[in-house]
Amino acid sequence: MSTTFPSGKDFPRNWHVIDAADNVLGRIATKAAMLLMGKNKANYTPFLDTGDHVVVINAKKVRLTGNKENQKLYRRHTGYPGGLIEVGAAKMRSTRPDRMIEEAIKGMLPKNKLGKQMYRKLKVYADDKHPHQAQKPVELAIQ
């Protein structure tokens, strides 16, 4: 008797929608990262991409706890000397609210090629409209 080992293409990919309105950023990110990695499935394999697609809507209405709205900084570097750019959470919410959620989720995924492949299945939108209705996504509630 031999054990069958599935390849990465044998896993069904479901679509999930997470409404970020009035939900805490960290709780949304952990739930989305778990879905992207496939840890909610019985056939989870650490070295295969078994996860689902995740669509996050209402990114501009996400809630930050404590005083993070005023103190949290998002940093990136241009690659040039002295090219560190720091943007506060309040300004990031007004200019690129989807980037807040993307960075939180990306930080929870593996830091390798597999993590990049999982990250490509994430779609974040600032408003409540998204172009993925044809995939029939399932609404997911965050407690």
| CATH code, 81 | 3.90.1180.10
Q: Does 70 score more than 70 pLDDT?
A: yes
Is residue 72 included in any domain, yes or no? yes
Distance of CA 9 to the CA centre of its chain: 21
| Contact indicator for 83, 77 with CB cutoff of 8 Å | yes
16-22 average pLDDT score? 97
Residue 1 lies in a domain: no
- pLDDT at residue 7 above 80? no
pLDDT tens-place string over residues 100-134: 999 999 999 999 999 999 999 999 999 999 999 99
Task: Judge whether 13 and 40 are in contact, CB under 8 Å.
Answer: no
Higher per-residue pLDDT: 76 or 8: 76
Quickly state the pLDDT bin for 6 (edges 50, 70, 90): confident
Structural domains counted in the chain: 1
Q: Which residues span the domain enclosing 135? A: 14-140
**What pTM, to 2 d.p., does this model score?**
0.92
Instruction: Classify residue 9: in a domain, yes or no.
Output: no
